[in-house]
Chain A
Amino acid sequence: MRRAIGLILLLVLAAFLVSGMLLVHPFGAPYPTDMDDYIIENAQNQTGSNSVVASVVFDYRGLDTLGEATILFTAVTGVLLLLRAQKRKEGGS
Chain B
Amino acid sequence: MLSKIVRTVANQLVLFILIFGLYVIAHGHLTPGGGFQGGAVVVSGVVMLLVAFSSQDLKKSVRERVLSIMESTGALIFAILGFAGLGTVFFYNFLVGSPIFGRIPPTGPNSGDFWTGGFIPLMNFAVGLKVIAGLSAVVLAIALFARGEEMEE
Q: Which residues of A contact B (CB under 8 A)?
A: 41, 44-51, 53-55, 57-59, 62-63, 65-66, 69-70, 72-73, 75-76, 79-80, 83-86, 88
- A76 to B137, Cβ gap below 8 A? yes
Interface of A is mostly: helix
Q: What A residues does B131 contact at CB under 8 A?
A: 72
- B148 to A73, Cβ gap below 8 A? no
Interchain Cβ contacts under 8 Å between A and B, 11 examples? A45-B104, A46-B93, A47-B120, A48-B120, A49-B116, A49-B118, A54-B124, A58-B119, A73-B134, A75-B138, A83-B141
Q: Which residues of B contact A (CB under 8 A)?
A: 28-32, 34, 64, 68, 71, 75, 78-79, 82, 90-91, 93, 96, 101-108, 110, 112, 116-120, 123-124, 127, 130-131, 134-135, 137-138, 141-142, 144-145, 148-150
Q: What B residues does A62 contact at CB under 8 A?
A: 82, 90-91, 123
Contact of A49 among B79, B120, B130, B145 (CB under 8 A): B120
- B93 to A73, Cβ gap below 8 A? no
Q: What B residues does A50 contact at CB under 8 A?
A: 29-30, 105, 110, 112, 116-117
Q: What A residues does B105 contact at CB under 8 A?
A: 44, 48, 50
Q: What A residues does B134 contact at CB under 8 A?
A: 72-73, 75-76
